[in-house]
Amino acid sequence: MAAEKVTYENFSGDPFSDWTPDDKNKGADTILQWAYDAYGSDLVYACSFGAEGIVLIDMIAKIKEDAHIVFLDTGVHFKETYELIEKVKKRYPSLKIEMKQPELTIAAQASQYGEELWKTDPNQCCYIRKILPLEEALTGVPAWISGLRREQSESRKNTNFVNKDERFHSVKVCPLIYWTWDDVWNYIQEHHLDYNELHDRGYPSIGCAPCTTAVETGDSRGGRWQGTMKTECGLHLPGSAKK
């Protein structure tokens, strides 16, 4: 299919909605190639450096070696996550990896909202430390890539390859929608990719340290915001929880 530039303004549905990929990577390479052909250097990948993240980085680096990657550096990530980022930078030196930080430092946030906002009001904390920085990073960006997979949760099961993103007034490209958790790990092993060491210590999904715990069993999103009703930071919801 021609690399038609789908925008937020002209969006009329996923151009791949009638396509069921039957290749080994379940359409991911095709979608990435289409997206980089359509958006070129304007395309941003917002990467959390989880298992899906390093798979996508490996695929992206083969298509666009100087792709723009944004990591939301909340300031409270695990040291293992920062170590992984350094390894990725060495393996793919041409990628432009941007460490996007929030306006408020942890100390400034504590003095304005109280200590450990992630405990008292995690939605506000995510808004300050993730949503606002991504909003800034995506300003003027026609499309961004996300590693969402349909099997991850109820709220993600209708995700398409190409989505109108109401939250960030952009187009969200999700190449891994048909991937299972096993697909992700098979790719990592087959390509000998570095991954976050915490995955081997019971953390399937790795976000900020204060909000991520190890789990004995569970799905690929297990261990995030345990003990609360919260399941999403808000990046993939149409409106953010706090303003």
Give the binding range for ligand SF4 (CB under 6 A) out of 86-94, 119-127, 140-148, 166-174: 119-127
Phi, psi of 208 (to 5 degrees): -70, 145
Q: In Å, how far from its chain's centre is CA 17?
A: 22
Applying CB under 6 A, among 15, 122, 142, 204 the residue interacting with ligand SF4 is 122
Instruction: Find tokens 């432009």 and name the residue.
Output: 96
- The answer to whether residue 126 forms part of the interface with ligand SF4 (CB under 6 A) is yes
Closer to ligand SF4 at the Cβ: 21 or 222?
222
Contact 130, 31 (CB under 8 A): no
Closest CA to 25 of 17, 33, 36: 33
Q: What is the DSSP letter of 197?
A: G
Closer to ligand SF4 at the Cβ: 193 or 209?
209
Closest CA to 95 of 69, 72, 73: 69
Contact 72, 129 (CB under 8 A): yes
Annotated binding residue at 208?
Answer: yes
Applying CB under 6 A, among 208, 223, 235, 240 the residue interacting with ligand SF4 is 208
- The answer to whether residue 76 forms part of the interface with ligand SF4 (CB under 6 A) is yes
Catalytic choice (72, 188, 233, 235):
233
233 catalytically annotated: yes
- The answer to whether residue 210 forms part of the interface with ligand SF4 (CB under 6 A) is yes
Closer to ligand SF4 at the Cβ: 35 or 131?
131
CB atoms within 10 A of CB 243: 8
CB atoms within 10 A of CB 191: 11
Annotated binding-site residue numbers for [4Fe-4S] cluster: 125-126, 208, 211
Residue ranges in contact with ligand SF4 by CB under 6 A: 74, 76, 118, 122, 125-126, 129-130, 207-208, 210-211, 233
Binding site per annotation, positions: 125-126, 208, 211
